[in-house]
Amino acid sequence: MGTKNLGPDVTGLSVNHYNTADDDGNILINNLVEAAPGTFKVWKLADVTGTDLPEPFIEYTTTTQLLGRKLSVKGSVDKNAIITVGLNNPMSSTFARWKVTNGILESQTPEKIFGQHKRSEIPYAEKTPLPQANIFPLFLSRPALLCRLSR
């Protein structure tokens, strides 16, 4: 164990809010957009032992959505991956989805996926291209539901 200098851009409670790793060990760190308008940012860190600082990966300016409490990635951002982020609206099951193909983020603007239940968290989404992808949200209403969305 040890510590990693994230640099001045990725420091602070709402800035360094959540992190996860992809299938190849790249670490994604995101901020929390608690009020709109705001800019949702994701940084990529390839190695925790080196001296490199996280590099900007996603920068999405939103005028209405609050997002960033959780982030999920399936695949490798160096190859092919799907990145999903639930919107921070307790009455919504909408989430944002970015696609990485051959190591290149296809767009800074996410695709919006709409569910039919309230208060979703997105723990997993296949990296299959839309519209064939399966998405497995966990809905936090009573009783808690796990379902599959197909498009």
Q: Are 17 and 30 in contact (CB under 8 A)?
A: yes
pLDDT digits (tens, 9 = 90+) for 47-100: 788 788 999 999 999 888 888 888 889 999 999 999 998 877 655 667 889 999
Interacting residues of 39 by C-beta distance below 8 A, sequence separation 6+: 31, 33, 59, 60, 61, 62
Q: Are 42 and 18 in contact (CB under 8 A)?
A: no
pLDDT digits (tens, 9 = 90+) for 4-19: 888 888 877 678 888 9
Q: Are 26 and 54 in contact (CB under 8 A)?
A: no
The model carries a pTM of 0.77
Q: Which of 40, 45, 21, 22 is nearest to 30 (CA)?
A: 40
